[in-house]
Amino acid sequence: MKTPTRLQPLVHEGLIDEVVRQLMSGKEAAVYVVRCGGDIRCAKVYKEANKRGFRQAATYQEGRKTRNTRQARAMAKGTRFGRKAQEDAWQNVEVDTLYRLAAAGVRVPRPYAYSHGVVLMELLTDADGNAAPRLNDVVLPEALALEYHAMLLREIVRMLCAGVIHGDLSEYNVLVTGEGPVIIDLPQAVDAAANNNAATMLKRDVFNITTYCSRFAPALAATRFGDEIWSLYERAQLHPDVGLTGRFAASTRPADVAAVMQDIAAVRAEHEARLRHKALIRQ
């Protein structure tokens, strides 16, 4: 096929030898099957911000750090340079997250390169060697639904142990390969420790996967895996091989408001003391 404009720089640089065909076009990117030497891979081409269905909501941006202070100021002001920097940062998140999760043993596509707004990555296939279908397109026997659900929960736990939450996980961004499900589409991934919405996002990811699998395995509908996983994470008891039950009992013990107010007062006093010390140094 004719080489798309966005892929031409990668052809000129020798990263791609041939564009075989377009695989899909989604809300945030178009994906092409490409040949790189003797390997068949896929190239994810991000759409421009004004053409994407998925918006860079503030809830996903929270906690993301920009090392370049000039870029950070421009992004805050919304200048043309700032919008370009924010777009680059949005795309870089997926690339960085793919490398981070692959190193942690999470089942995600293996990344190979990132250039000119294009990610070269592993082409995922089914048992017959064809492009892997989305989980949404697969009809599952009950036993397989339970197996895939357990596998995906293990991947969600591994991600959280690596400090990452997908943030938009559902049956539409899971591919079913010959070895089982693989999680894709990570540009909106968030830092679990730096985002105030992390708990809500984690529980929503788990809920979406559980709800889909419960269509084929109805017993899953009564489980509370999201609450259980987050509770273990908060108590520093979560690890990749943790045994999950799907049961969770919320604490009914009343909050110790007095103790919380004491902690707040102690922190405020420490902050004020630090300010006084700095003022003395300046004098």
CB 174, CB 135: distance < 8 Å: yes
Residue 204 falls inside a structural domain: yes
| Tokens at 182, concatenated | 């693989």
List the catalytic residue out of 168, 241, 256, 263.
168
Q: Tell me whether residue 132 is in a domain.
A: yes
CA–CA separation, 32 vs 58, rounded Å? 30
Does some domain include residue 283? no
Closest CA to 148 of 129, 184, 175, 124: 175
- 17-36 tens-digit pLDDT: 999 999 998 778 899 999 99
At 50 the pLDDT is 54
Residue 175 is part of which domain span? Answer: 5-234
Tell me, yes or no, whether 258 lies in a domain.
no
Split at pLDDT 50, 70, 90, the class of 74 is very low
Q: In the chain, pLDDT over 70 holds for what percent of residues?
A: 83
The band of 257, judged by pLDDT with boundaries at 50, 70 and 90, is: confident
Lowest-confidence region among 5-14, 71-80, 207-216: 71-80
**Which of 128, 137, 185, 191 is labelled catalytic?**
185
Crossing angle of helices 142-161/198-213, nearest 10°? 170
Flag whether pLDDT at 52 surpasses 80: no
**Is residue 99 included in any domain, yes or no?**
yes
**How many domains does the chain divide into?**
1
List the helix and strand counts (H, then E) for the chain.
Answer: 8, 9
Is residue 162 in a domain? Answer: yes
pLDDT tens sequence across 178-236: 999 999 999 889 999 989 999 999 999 999 999 999 999 999 999 999 999 999 999 99
pLDDT of amino acid 94: 87
**What percent of the chain shows pLDDT beyond 90?**
64
Q: Can you give the pLDDT at residue 75?
A: 46
- Expressed in angstroms, the distance from the first to the final Cα of the chain is 72
Within a domain: 278: no
256 as an active site residue: the answer is no
Active site residue 168: yes
* C-alpha to C-alpha distance for 60 and 204, rounded to whole angstroms: 14
CATH number at residue 56: 1.10.510.10
45 found inside a domain: yes
* Encoded tokens for 207: 């809920």
